[in-house]
Structure 1
Amino acid sequence: MSGVTDGRAGRRSPLAGIRVLDYGQYVAAPFGTMLLADLGADVVKVEPPTGDQWRHYEPFAPGESRYFYALNRNKRSVALDLKTSEGRAKSRELIRTADALVQNCLPERAKRFELDRETVREINPRCVWVSISAFGSEGPDAQRPAYDLIAQALSGLLMADTRPDDTVPRRMGGLAVADFTCGLLAAIAVLAGLAARDDEQSHGIEVSLLGAALALQAQRFVSVEAMDRPMRAERLEEGPPFATPEDLTSLADRIARLDELEPYYRTYRCADGFLALACLNTRHRLEVCAVLGLDDPWAADPQAAPADEGERLRRLAHARGAEDAFAGRPVAEWVEALGARGIPASEVRLLDLLYEDGQVEANGLVQTVTQPAVGDVRLLGNVFKVDGEAAPAARGAPGLGEHAPELLKAEATEAAS
């Protein structure tokens, strides 16, 4: 088994001898497993025959992409077609040798590819299983696909970076912050699972893009119920927060416009709010065109630079056509129409409207703790689900020096023994 040394003579990398199977694509899973590889784990990237989709994103040569390079160093790769019995048989052989497995399949696909928790446990009871999902394994959105932008929209994170002009929400600095944060959580989950396993069994741990996006806002996602609940209830009664342009300009924070030529991975103003649309493959982009009734010759490669000014103007006209179409109907209608075709899309939400959100509550991503000074406080829940459950907080934040007597007494007892 191969692992990465830390480059210093005589030093063994922290995770040397640990094998991690990376069945993930795009950003979150590859980033998390790359961190483990950097710590010395033998990370085996298990890809479909056509490769991780990120190999083909803005390539400078066939299958060669800076994006893929950035997230997959220190790994080895095998290509398996998990749609075939032969591919799944070879996958099972790999799983028998693994200490941990990371995957980001939708639940139904995970079962079909034999990457679900129960199947992996049957193959190798000691293999730590980590699943990355969009919204968590419970709740009404558990089966929905999504990318980073959708998690930012649904979590309220998209409204955290705003600008003083009347435009639509955009990603924070254009960065996939939910993806990368979720990758960090996945790496932590692997380490926790390795630390806790014994000779006979291991843990299954779940993390999600929604949980990661909320975790980034933990300092803001806190409601002192006695003070904040009445204001939140009043805001909910007022209806959609962005029904008119004036609603947005009344906020202290503003946001800037995305690239005017990119109609498929951005946010749109609708009749009563904002919609986030995230299409990273040609099929989804063509489906969007069908829903909007538009024809786009550039749907296969929307990032390509215009050949000339005439093409730029034609593409700009297409983007403006998409803007006009989305502006004519309410957000909910677009979410339903796009969702019926499997297109990742969502409304853009405010963070402080998520305390009573069904998806957030279903996955334990908001919880109540008691603080002696103020009473009940609602805040970010445990973003890790271990064997199907997220452990609740045992206590709120401690007071200054609150546990010194018991801790110092324990240390003194240990020192005397």
Structure 2
Amino acid sequence: MTDNSSNVTSNDMSLPLTGVRVIDMADGKGEMCGRLLADFGAEVILVEPPKGLASRQLPPFYRSESLYFATHNANKRSVVLDLDTDQGKADFLALSDRADILIEADKPGRMAERDLSAATLRERNPQLIVVSITDFGQTGPYSQYRGSNSVLMAMGGVLARSGIEGERPLLPPAEMALEATAVQAAWATMVAYWQRLQTGKGNTLDFSMFEATAQILDPGLGVTGSAAAGRSASEMAPYGRPPIGKLYPIFACADGHVRICVLNPRQWQGMCAWLGDDHPFTDPAYGNIAKRFSEIVAINALIAELFKDKNAVDLVMEGQSRGVPIAAVSTPAQVLEDEQFNARGAFTALTLADGAEGKVPAGYLELDGQRMGIRQTAPELGANQSILDGLSTVGDCVDQASEATSSRRPFEGIRILDLGVIVAGAELGRLFADQGAEVIKVENSAFPDGLRQSSGGAPISQSFSQGSRNKLSMGLNLRTEKGIALFHQLAKESDVILSNFKPGTLESLGIGYDQLKTLNPGIIVLESSALGNTGPLAKSMGYGPLVRASSGLTGLWCYPEIEGSYSDSITIFPDHFAARVAAVGIVAALARREQTGVGGKVALSQAETILNTLATSLLRESVEPNSFRPLGNQYEFDAPANVFPCAGDDLWCVVEVKSNSDWLSLCTAIDRPDLLEVADYKTAEGRLQNRETLEAIVRDWTEQRSPYEVLETLQAAGLAAGNMQRLSEFDNNPHFLARKFFRHFEQPGFPGILQTENGPVSFSELPEPEIRPAPFQGQHTLELAKRLLGLSPEEIQALTEEGALEPMADNEFVKA
């Protein structure tokens, strides 16, 4: 690889985390956490053993170079330290004494065995933030278990909801669990970093990838989409796999496939007109989604006939003109050449071995129009050894921590105006509200948040309650001049504005960033959209299923042997994930504001967040065409590895062999030492050639055992294995319970006690989130109008009568 690690580009000094030093020892677990911090300008230093990090040898390879390492370690530096020697340990301590953040991913207890525990390091450097990333956390009954992407998918509740009716569960493509949890780790790290900026005190983060998978990828306790009509993820998930394409159907066309998301009456009007005026579903009653679903098979048959002879690009253009949400189901090759992505600079060139040039996602988001992404290639081993020079010099350590109490919540004193809707919008505001920010949901009864609808007619839905806990609600009509004037007044006294409207909407209302910064130079505006706020398709209607289709994820999420078996129909992705990416960007902008006093505009494309989770495979596709294809449940580089049946009704487990040592462990655990003597099974290549035979042997063994027996037996042997856990099993999971994964709260208007997730990680110096119920629409309008806007009762009454302010309607569940 060409090494540019010492050539800092001219704009690095303008990046928001410039001056932050991070030691990165993640090595294959959460390395994208450090990459994301480096993208924002932090100096991220890989501390490598003499032979290099193990991740330098992770597949896939191009001309002997690890493409995984290339994508996950761009923008970083490298030093070599042998921590098993006195000198190496001394140099490491000197480096950590002058660091802001340490990210490590050793097995629980390993750092302590080296006398490098978090307590030891923070005693020397009280401002240090230590982020310990492990598969299952430092404590709990699973703490010594071994995880993997497939294990996390199975045990984190994702696998049970993936696949199609009548087939075995299907692992989602690529390594989405590992990539998503790394972003969760970055968010938790930024929370701790912001807290340190306010208090001077470091932190220790016990980060469990298992818990993070259950929170960020497609959370069982999180917000669900508007089509769910307020139902929880548990209510939506069948015991088996869902039927194909009821909610977000996919249709064959002349040159591929397209997906539509027709949800509201206006969208159905567009689709109805597109079908012509002589079909049996022209009655306006079919604008109701429940009515339409009662005839969905016949309706979809008409749409299939209409689409079958047309090209995907023509269907997308006509759908847009008719107001019908539609997207092509793109292949990886099409994604790399996509006009929208390339117009936005979503990809960049990356120099590989022997000067070859690949194409890779450029970065997750933009700040003030600048891509926060790849600026330089991953470093050669030890390329930046000079960093260690002079570390023994006394006097340049960080300042001592203050005596600030850990009861302070990180974002206390930060005010956020939340215009976000549906899943991504709700989740982003909640993340900050959980950590102490005053988050005001600004809403209008004429255009209600789709999350407020409830299938059973309850006054508030479970989904909305999960996504808007801890928020306030202010009824404000931004379609009126006085409503806009009031919003301007609020913006003057606020720190952040959140929006996930169609690009251009804020500007048309008079509340875009350029307009608001004249009122408040420190304001930070976050705009999240489906495909980004620039480019020819910027104003496409954005729903998660269309974003997944456009980014190539849908086309990969299928059984390779079953035509049309697209299996992402009930997942909620990338909404929760994209919200964490946006949150990292916002905190980075807040940190920059601490130094400059100036706010900024954070812009995020949800589709591009998916591209970055697929970075390694897309880079490979760019240099090895047709390499990125649906794999189903199989691991490309070794065997046996698959989803296997267990004893019982639709019970499954995942078992993975990824090395010769794994093969030894498996054969020992299942009492088949004879397999170790078979020459063809001694190498990965040989095992791949005999995949079917080996998987049949494993299947015969798992079918005789419960998923939990498989889990315990194989984990005891040191093998990555896991039971497929349904959402209904979360309540009794001993590890979740031991680590206080759950919280509970009472939601006025909703019967019983609601179960919800706890914070993103176990912080040593931060309290757990305070859980308060979600607000009714306009519940805090009167209070906020008085407290923040200084309005008198008479002024409030007049603005209410004029339709600018919207107080809460009479509500039996809220005391006056």
The structural deviation recorded for 1:222 is: 6.1
Relative distance call for 1:86 and 1:265 in structure 2 (3 A) is: farther
2:715 to 313, 336, 339: 339
Please state whether the residue corresponding to 1:95 is helix, strand or coil: helix
Cα distance in 2 for residues equivalent to 1:181 and 1:207: 13
Give the structure 2 partner of residue 270 of structure 1. 646
Relative distance call for 1:189 and 1:329 in structure 2 (3 A) is: closer
Q: Aligned letter for 2:69?
A: F
Per-residue CA distance 1:303-332 (angstroms, 9 max, x = gap): x4x7xxxx9764432332232233233333
Give the structure 2 partner of residue 387 of structure 1. 764
Relative distance call for 1:93 and 1:265 in structure 2 (3 A) is: farther
Give the structure 1 partner of residue 697 of structure 2. 321
Please state whether the residue corresponding to 2:732 is helix, strand or coil: coil
Cα distance in 1 for residues equivalent to 2:744 and 2:127: 34
Relative distance call for 1:354 and 1:392 in structure 2 (3 A) is: same
The structural deviation recorded for 1:3 is: 9.7
Alignment of 1:114-263 (within 5 A): 114-167=115-168, 169-173=169-173, 175-197=174-196, 201-216=201-216, 220-221=220-221, 251-252=241-242, 256=559, 258-259=633-634, 262-263=638-639
Per-residue CA distance 1:54-89 (angstroms, 9 max, x = gap): 211233344x21111111100001222323333222
CA contact (8 A) 2:635 2:642 kept: no
CA contact (8 A) 1:371 1:396 kept: yes
Cα distance in 2 for residues equivalent to 1:220 and 1:337: 27
Please state whether the residue corresponding to 2:743 is helix, strand or coil: strand
Per-residue CA distance 1:77-113 (angstroms, 9 max, x = gap): 1222323333222211110110111111222112123
Q: Aligned letter for 1:252?
A: P
Relative distance call for 1:124 and 1:222 in structure 2 (3 A) is: closer
Cα distance in 2 for residues equivalent to 1:326 and 1:60: 36
Relative distance call for 1:403 and 1:205 in structure 2 (3 A) is: farther
Cα distance in 2 for residues equivalent to 1:211 and 1:320: 32
Give the structure 2 partner of residue 37 of structure 1. 38
The structural deviation recorded for 1:367 is: 1.3
Relative distance call for 1:182 and 1:217 in structure 2 (3 A) is: closer
CA contact (8 A) 1:270 1:327 kept: yes
TM-score by structure 2 length?
0.43
Question: Does residue 1:70 correspond to 2:448, yes or no?
Answer: no
Question: Does residue 1:291 correspond to 2:669, yes or no?
Answer: yes
Give the structure 2 partner of residue 397 of structure 1. 774
CA contact (8 A) 1:222 1:378 kept: no
The structural deviation recorded for 1:47 is: 2.0
Give the structure 1 partner of residue 58 of structure 2. 57
Relative distance call for 1:202 and 1:354 in structure 2 (3 A) is: same
Cα distance in 1 for residues equivalent to 2:127 and 2:688: 56
Bigger shift: residues 132-141 or 64-73:
132-141
The structural deviation recorded for 1:201 is: 2.7
Please state whether the residue corresponding to 1:367 is helix, strand or coil: strand
The structural deviation recorded for 1:121 is: 0.5
Relative distance call for 1:339 and 1:362 in structure 2 (3 A) is: same
Alignment of 1:1-16 (within 5 A): 8=11, 12-16=14-18
Relative distance call for 1:410 and 1:130 in structure 2 (3 A) is: farther
Cα distance in 2 for residues equivalent to 1:216 and 1:343: 25
Relative distance call for 1:210 and 1:312 in structure 2 (3 A) is: closer
CA contact (8 A) 1:4 1:41 kept: no
Count the aligned residue pairs.
382
CA contact (8 A) 1:100 1:128 kept: yes
Cα distance in 2 for residues equivalent to 1:360 and 1:76: 36
CA contact (8 A) 2:640 2:695 kept: no
CA contact (8 A) 1:260 1:319 kept: no
Cα distance in 2 for residues equivalent to 1:406 and 1:71: 48
Alignment of 1:370-385 (within 5 A): 370-375=746-751, 376-385=753-762
Relative distance call for 1:179 and 1:217 in structure 2 (3 A) is: closer
Cα distance in 1 for residues equivalent to 2:242 and 2:694: 32
Please state whether the residue corresponding to 1:172 is helix, strand or coil: coil
Cα distance in 2 for residues equivalent to 1:372 and 1:218: 26
Cα distance in 1 for residues equivalent to 2:120 and 2:680: 42
Alignment of 1:351-366 (within 5 A): 351-366=727-742
Cα distance in 2 for residues equivalent to 1:53 and 1:282: 15
Relative distance call for 1:114 and 1:171 in structure 2 (3 A) is: farther
Q: Which has the higher contact order (CA 8 A, sep 6+)?
A: 2
Relative distance call for 1:312 and 1:106 in structure 2 (3 A) is: closer
Q: Aligned letter for 1:195?
A: W
Give the structure 1 partner of residue 389 of structure 2. none
Report the RMSD for the aligned CA atoms in angstroms.
3.3
Cα distance in 1 for residues equivalent to 2:654 and 2:766: 30
Cα distance in 2 for residues equivalent to 1:75 and 1:206: 23
The structural deviation recorded for 1:207 is: 2.3
Per-residue CA distance 1:110-162 (angstroms, 9 max, x = gap): 21234432112022111111121222333211232212221221121111211
Please state whether the residue corresponding to 1:368 is helix, strand or coil: strand
The structural deviation recorded for 1:395 is: 0.4
Alignment of 1:12-31 (within 5 A): 12-28=14-30, 30-31=31-32
The structural deviation recorded for 1:362 is: 2.2
The structural deviation recorded for 1:390 is: 5.7
CA contact (8 A) 2:647 2:706 kept: yes
Cα distance in 2 for residues equivalent to 1:333 and 1:135: 18
Q: Aligned letter for 1:12?
A: S
Q: Aligned letter for 2:764?
A: D
Relative distance call for 1:101 and 1:313 in structure 2 (3 A) is: closer
CA contact (8 A) 2:203 2:765 kept: no
Cα distance in 1 for residues equivalent to 2:116 and 2:681: 32
User: Which runs of structure 1 show a deviation greater than 4 angstroms over 4 or more consecutive aligned residues?
Assistant: 2-9, 253-257, 296-301
Per-residue CA distance 1:150-185 (angstroms, 9 max, x = gap): 122112111121123433x33212x32221122112
Larger Rg: 2
Relative distance call for 1:271 and 1:390 in structure 2 (3 A) is: farther
Gaps in structure 1 of 5+ consecutive residues: 233-246
Q: Aligned letter for 1:271?
A: A
Gaps in structure 2 of 5+ consecutive residues: 224-230, 245-557, 560-631, 792-816
Cα distance in 1 for residues equivalent to 2:693 and 2:218: 41
Give aligned-pair identity as a percent: 25
CA contact (8 A) 2:158 2:218 kept: no
Relative distance call for 1:220 and 1:345 in structure 2 (3 A) is: closer
CA contact (8 A) 2:639 2:691 kept: no
Cα distance in 2 for residues equivalent to 1:208 and 1:260: 24
Bigger shift: residues 70-79 or 255-264:
255-264
The structural deviation recorded for 1:356 is: 3.0
Cα distance in 2 for residues equivalent to 1:113 and 1:37: 27
Cα distance in 2 for residues equivalent to 1:99 and 1:107: 22
TM-score by structure 1 length?
0.81
